[in-house]
Structure 1
Amino acid sequence: MNNEKVTLVELNADNWYECCTLKVSDDQIKFIESNAVSIAQSKFEPTLKPYAIQYEGKTVGFLMFNTVKEELDGYWVYRIMVDKNFQGKGIGKKATQLMIDEISKLPNSNKIIVGYHPENLGAHQLYASFGFVDKGDRFGKEMAVVKEF
């Protein structure tokens, strides 16, 4: 697969519904909110930035991050998912890199934080591959990992 064909497109009238129809695999459902919930959240929290993840122009995933610093003095990743039919192809990894690139452009960007359930081994492997470190921070049922740059 050519990962150069992975792009992030701001959520808009043309792709929001496609994002709502995307599904993770059955074993991942317990780890992530639906994209519809995330999209609704972005309408009430204007600092959240939602994106469609596209591969060759087709919407195959969704991600969202905050554009203001929050807990632990960093920018938080709220959601990142790839549809079950497109997992295992490197799309999530490329989209994560593109997201990190976008967050690094924000004012005083020196730290990115993402929370996920400790049993979500796929998320753990993905974030560890980008240098996110578990410093022991916990928020409810989720652990928070940090990438500093």
Structure 2
Amino acid sequence: MSPEQTAHFSAPVVYWLAESRFETHFRPMVISRADELIGFLVYGVDPDDGEYWLITFMIDHRFQGRGLGRRALEAFLAHFDDEHPGARLTLGHHPDNHVAARLYASAGFAPTGELIGGEVIRVRPPA
């Protein structure tokens, strides 16, 4: 993410790594191309209702606009479906992040009409 994006869209990686030490249901994952780190995501199950969330998904600004985010999301969703068959996945994104909205829509995430914490909520039904 660029410095401008971090001000509006997501907490830094170090925050999510620290948070996952306390929120044991958070599953941080790196996104790499060959041996190069290009992004990061966190997913997990809400312990209150058993729903799975893609909590954060970010691609380093130096690698954006090349289709790598789309490929990373597709790879993650294949992993998720293998690990959690029949589970739906929920996520939120900033309303002004139109690139994310298009990416998530293309991957089958439909808006619920809900806003939580100012974020548009989208759900992907079970595969």
Using structure 1 for the length normalisation, give the TM-score: 0.76
Q: Does 1:145 find its partner at 2:106?
A: no
Using the TM superposition, give the Cα deviation of residue 69 of structure 1 relative to its aligned residue in structure 2, in angstroms: 4.5
Q: Does 1:76 find its partner at 2:47?
A: no
- Equivalent positions of 1:1-149 (< 5 A) are 24-29=1-6, 30-66=8-44, 68-69=45-46, 74-107=51-84, 109-149=86-126
Using structure 2 for the length normalisation, give the TM-score: 0.88
Using the TM superposition, give the Cα deviation of residue 114 of structure 1 relative to its aligned residue in structure 2, in angstroms: 0.6
CA distance in 2, matches of 1:86, 1:122: 14
Residues 52 and 89, structure 2, Cα contact 8 Å, conserved in 1: yes
Using the TM superposition, give the Cα deviation of residue 56 of structure 1 relative to its aligned residue in structure 2, in angstroms: 1.5
User: Structure 2 unaligned runs (5+)?
Assistant: none
After superposing the two structures, state which structure 1 stretch, 132-141 or 108-117, moved more: 108-117
Residues 75 and 103, structure 1, Cα contact 8 Å, conserved in 2: no
CA distance in 2, matches of 1:71, 1:47: 11
Distance change >3 Å, CA 102–CA 69, structure 1 → 2: farther
Residues 42 and 48, structure 1, Cα contact 8 Å, conserved in 2: yes
Report the 3-state secondary structure (helix = DSSP H, G, I; strand = E; otherwise coil) of the residue aligned with 1:31. coil
**Cα deviation code 1:34-78 (max 9, x no counterpart):** 111111111111111111111121111111100x25677631001
The total of aligned residue pairs comes to: 125
User: Structure 1 unaligned runs (5+)?
Assistant: 1-23
Give the AA of the match of 1:85: R
The ranges of structure 1 where at least 4 consecutive aligned residues each deviate by more than 2 angstroms after the TM superposition are 68-74, 105-110
Give the AA of the match of 2:65: G
Residues 76 and 113, structure 1, Cα contact 8 Å, conserved in 2: yes
Report the 3-state secondary structure (helix = DSSP H, G, I; strand = E; otherwise coil) of the residue aligned with 2:82. coil
**Cα deviation code 1:10-31 (max 9, x no counterpart):** xxxxxxxxxxxxxx12442211
> What is the aligned-residue RMSD (CA, Å)?
1.8
Residues 136 and 144, structure 1, Cα contact 8 Å, conserved in 2: yes
Give the AA of the match of 1:65: Y
Distance change >3 Å, CA 71–CA 93, structure 1 → 2: farther
Percent of aligned positions with the same letter in both sequences?
30
